[in-house]
């Protein structure tokens, strides 16, 4: 039971208030979003910022954490924290080597571009929105995250067993 | 990312202990309601049987109410935050709360839980009636009715631990287990 104290210490030290570990399947999306929405709505922060935070969580839950064909059961995690200057949303899941290459390529490319280029890239992608392509939705989600956070998206890939990686995104939304 | 090691550590601790939801901070009515709602939907989507679902929901309500009542009203630092954890295992679920309590209260709390854990179903029912009659509003849960409720509803004994946090306080962990029917 000591792990409860360990969890509390890790979460409290980084101001994480909420951590959800799951596969974020369709059925659970609404309750997760309700849970995070209620959490944010309690904070004394401008509604415009809250909407951006909530929009970020929606993208993370629907397109980053969601892993219905997951490599590992309940491999995805969503964390919400708040510092003096930012809301911080961490989203992660276990991916295979092929997906690692894909995410890595997109993120490296877009982290070097300015917001105007990112926005026009998103507009181009949206023109093809009718096509049911997982890659397309994931790309759009990443671009949305860059735009909502004004470029404050960090990422990492941690090697795990069986040639899998823990893919993590950190999205910061400035409070001002 | 500045806190990536903590994120890894958190993912790892949650995963190795089958934790699916953790909340750290102040517990108010809104927080409690939204966690209950989330859990209700989660249990439904996991195909958990009605009876088990009802037990989990009732125990969780009781535990969250307990922690709301007994949490430190003024969270001055991270050490004073309370934690709630929901875990999903192959054979059932566990609910765990953790909060700081004064070392002077340990004997009292430990005594109450040990009495409750030592009673069978019928004895527990009688004990509950007796404690309910004897308790007053000013007890604010001090009679241990919450503990009795949790044991009755979960149909399992409570597990608990006190981890010293300096000279004055300890971290009190309370765990209830609900087996799948």
Q: What is the pTM of this model?
A: 0.84
Which residue of chain A is at minimal alpha-carbon distance from B6? A10
CB-CB neighbours of B164 under 10 Å = 11
Mean pLDDT to the nearest integer, A1-23: 85
DSSP letters, B77-146, are SGGG-EEEEEEEETTEEEEEEEEEEEGGGHHHHHHHHHHHHT--HHHHHHHHHHHHHH--GGGTTTTSHH
Prediction ipTM score: 0.86
Q: Which of residues 121-150 of B touch A (CB under 8 A)?
A: none
Task: Supply the pLDDT for residue B31.
Answer: 82
Instruction: Determine contact, residues A112/A119, Cβ cutoff 8 Å.
Output: no
Instruction: Determine contact, residues B109/B143, Cβ cutoff 8 Å.
Output: no
Tokens matching residue B31: 């927080």
Q: What is the pLDDT of residues B62-80, one digit of tens each?
A: 999 888 877 755 445 555 7
* Residue A17 C-alpha, separation from nearest chain B C-alpha, in angstroms: 5
Q: Check residue A116 and give left, alpha or beta (phi > 0: left; psi -120 to 50: alpha).
A: alpha
Mean pLDDT to the nearest integer, A55-83: 77
Q: Would you place residue B139 in the very low, low, confident or very high pLDDT band (cuts 50, 70, 90)?
A: low
Query: CA B176, CA B156: separation in Å to the nearest integer?
Result: 7
Average pLDDT, chain A: 84
* Lowest-confidence segment of B70-79, B111-120, B137-146 by average pLDDT: B70-79
* Strands B92-102 and B159-165, bridge-based pairing: unpaired
Which residue of chain A is at minimal alpha-carbon distance from B159? A1
Instruction: Determine contact, residues B28/A42, Cβ cutoff 8 Å.
Output: yes
H-assigned helices in A75-133: 97-111, 115-127
- Nearest beta carbon to residue B7 from set A8, A27, A168: A168
Q: What is the pLDDT of residues A114-147, one digit of tens each?
A: 999 999 999 988 887 666 677 888 888 899 999 9
Testing the interface with A: which of B22, B81, B101 to mutate, by most A Cβ within 10 A? B22
């Amino acid at each position: 039971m000591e792990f409860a104290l360990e969890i509390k210490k890790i979460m409290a030290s980084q101001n994480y208030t909420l951590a959800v570990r799951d596969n974020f399947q369709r059925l659970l999306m609404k309750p997760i979003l309700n849970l995070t929405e209620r959490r944010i709505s309690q904070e004394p922060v401008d509604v415009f910022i809250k909407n951006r935070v909530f929009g970020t969580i929606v993208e993370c839950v629907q397109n980053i954490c969601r892993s219905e064909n997951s490599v590992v059961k309940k491999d995805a995690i969503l964390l919400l924290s708040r510092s003096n200057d930012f809301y911080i949303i961490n989203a992660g899941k276990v991916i295979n080597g092929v997906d690692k290459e894909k995410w890595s390529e997109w993120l490296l490319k877009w982290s070097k571009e300015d917001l105007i280029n990112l926005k026009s890239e998103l507009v181009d992608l949206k023109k093809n929105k009718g096509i049911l392509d997982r890659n397309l939705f994931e790309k759009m989600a990443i671009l949305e995250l860059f735009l909502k956070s004004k470029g404050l998206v960090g990422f990492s890939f941690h090697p795990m067993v069986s040639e899998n990686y823990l893919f993590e995104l950190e999205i910061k939304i400035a409070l001002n | 990312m500045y806190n990536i090691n903590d994120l890894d550590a958190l993912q790892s601790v949650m995963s190795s202990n089958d934790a699916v939801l953790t909340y750290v901070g102040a517990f108010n009515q809104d927080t409690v309601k939204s966690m209950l709602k989330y859990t209700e939907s989660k249990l439904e989507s996991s195909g958990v049987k009605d009876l088990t679902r009802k037990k989990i929901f009732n125990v969780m309500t009781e535990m969250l109410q307990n922690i709301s009542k007994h949490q430190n009203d003024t969270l001055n630092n991270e050490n004073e935050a309370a934690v709630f954890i929901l875990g999903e295992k192959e054979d059932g679920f566990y609910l765990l709360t953790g909060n700081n309590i004064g070392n002077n209260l340990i004997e009292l709390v430990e005594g109450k839980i040990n009495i409750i854990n030592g009673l069978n179903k019928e004895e527990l029912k009688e004990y509950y009636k007796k404690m309910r009659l004897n308790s007053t509003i000013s007890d604010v849960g001090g009679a241990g009715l919450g503990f009795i409720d949790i044991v009755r509803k979960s149909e399992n004994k409570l597990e608990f631990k006190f981890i010293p946090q300096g000279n004055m306080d300890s971290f009190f962990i309370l765990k209830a287990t609900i087996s799948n029917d």
